[in-house]
Amino acid sequence: MINKQIEELEKILKNNFEGDALAMKFLERIEEGKITRDENPKSHVCAYFATYDPIAKQVFIGHHKKSGFWLFNGGHIDEGETMRETLIREMKEEWGLDANDFAIKPPALLTITEIDNPTKQPCRIHYDLWNFIAVDKNIFHPVEENLLEEFHEAGWKTLEEARELIKDKNTLLAIEFVEKNYFD
């Protein structure tokens, strides 16, 4: 029997990324099974919730403690969780906010991240699904205590500032995606 998690991921990949070569790699990985960090600490599925303000043309990123990189918020999908459940949990953990206050659309970007940080992370490969969350930065107020659990610092950056800070190629792809699809 297919669980709701696998069923949802396959539906997202087949409906939203039909014919995409990267989506095919995701589907192959899902077919292997054990797609969560608890089941497979080295290779698993993750969800980003990349926050941007389309009016101010800025993105919300942070300097992640474990990776050492400037990243958008996100996290690992836990066993049995749907994408939405993961985002709700992660937004509560990282922002201290209720995800129901945000318009959560299906993932719009896929990346595969190879990780080489053995002293801080057992992860080797992340299969990343990117959800983009539009907010008004003037009323978006994540709880600083929550942010500081995972980030040295976090805040709003222009695209130029973000590109100066970001060294991770997939986060840079997400910045390009935001600029191309959400900023006019």
Residue 113: helix, strand or coil by DSSP?
strand
Sequence spans of domains, the chain: 4-182
Residue 1 above 60 pLDDT?
no
Percentage above 70 pLDDT, the chain: 99
Tokens 């589907």 correspond to 27
* CATH code for the domain defined by 4-182: 3.90.79.10
Residue 179 above 50 pLDDT?
yes
Residues 105-131 have pLDDT tens digits of: 999 999 999 988 777 778 899 999 999
Beta pairing, strands 73-76 & 151-158: unpaired
pLDDT at 136: 97
Residues 49-89 have pLDDT tens digits of: 999 999 999 999 999 998 899 999 999 999 989 999 999 99
10 Å Cβ neighbour count for 134?
Answer: 14
Q: Which residue, among 53, 61, 133, has the nearest Cα to 99 in the 3D structure? A: 133
Rounded Cα gap, residues 112 and 74, in angstroms? 14
pTM: 0.94
Q: Dihedral through CA 115, CA 53, CA 98, CA 75, nearest 10?
A: 0
pLDDT at 2: 54
Distance of CA 45 to the CA centre of its chain: 10
